[in-house]
């Protein structure tokens, strides 16, 4: 019998084409602008920057190299203590390199999502090795917001 067009196709191929949809999304194509503060910044100034830039994660840099990551959770922990946040250095509250999960622009958004779920973080610094080879230069940010937007875009491409 002659197969009906529309239902006779290799399901292996179909799986592959679905796969590429999600797995072809790259970090580079979904890069958000990173917001950084200097290592010499106070906890108070970092929090103000977070509000002004409306971001949930700040990167702490020294001379262009990534030295730490600061989340809203980190900030809340120290502000709740009730000390003088203007006198408190941001380095006291941040998570330090090398205890930071990073990703490169060439990676897939899927890999970024896996890392955020596994390490229970809301955002990842997107980094390149800097010219001197002594550390990471931050080129952007991906977050759970990035993934949520990508999820919506995938859904929109196949609306009923």
For a copy of itself, which residue of 60, 70, 100, 150 counts as binding (CB under 8 A)? 150
Give the one residue of 40, 63, 64, 73 binding a copy of itself; rule: CB under 8 A. 73
Determine, following the binding rule CB under 8 A, whether residue 92 of this chain makes contact with a copy of itself. Answer: no
The helix (run of H) or strand (run of E) holding residue 95 is strand 95-96
Residue closer to a copy of itself (CB basis): 49 or 104 = 49
Which helix (H) or strand (E) segment holds residue 79: the answer is helix 72-80
Q: Which of 38, 114, 119, 132 binds a copy of itself (CB under 8 A)?
A: 114
For 80, counting Cβ atoms within 10 Å of its Cβ (0-12 exposed, 13-18 middle, 19+ buried), the class is exposed
116 is a site residue for a copy of itself (CB under 8 A): yes
Query: Residue 156 CB, nearest distance to a copy of itself (Å)?
Result: 9
Q: Which is nearer to a copy of itself, 26 or 145 (CB)?
A: 145
Interface with a copy of itself, residue 12, by CB under 8 A: yes
Cα–Cα distance between 64 and 77 in angstroms, integer? Answer: 27
Q: Which 3 state secondary structure label does DSSP give 22? A: helix
């Amino acid at each position: 019998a002659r197969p009906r067009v529309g239902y006779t196709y290799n399901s292996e191929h179909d799986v592959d084409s679905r796969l590429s949809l999600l797995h072809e999304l790259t970090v580079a194509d979904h890069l958000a602008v990173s917001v950084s503060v200097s290592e010499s910044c106070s906890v108070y100034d970092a929090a103000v920057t977070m509000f002004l830039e409306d971001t949930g994660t700040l990167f702490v840099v020294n001379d262009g190299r990534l030295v730490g990551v600061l989340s809203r959770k980190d900030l809340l922990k120290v502000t709740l203590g009730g000390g003088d946040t203007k006198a408190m250095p941001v380095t006291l509250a941040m998570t330090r390199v090398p205890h930071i999960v990073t990703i490169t622009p060439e990676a897939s958004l899927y890999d970024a999502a896996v890392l955020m779920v596994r390490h229970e973080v809301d955002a990842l610094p997107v980094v390149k090795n800097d010219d001197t080879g002594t550390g990471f230069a931050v080129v952007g940010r991906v977050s759970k917001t990035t993934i949520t937007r990508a999820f919506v875009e995938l859904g929109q491409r196949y609306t009923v």
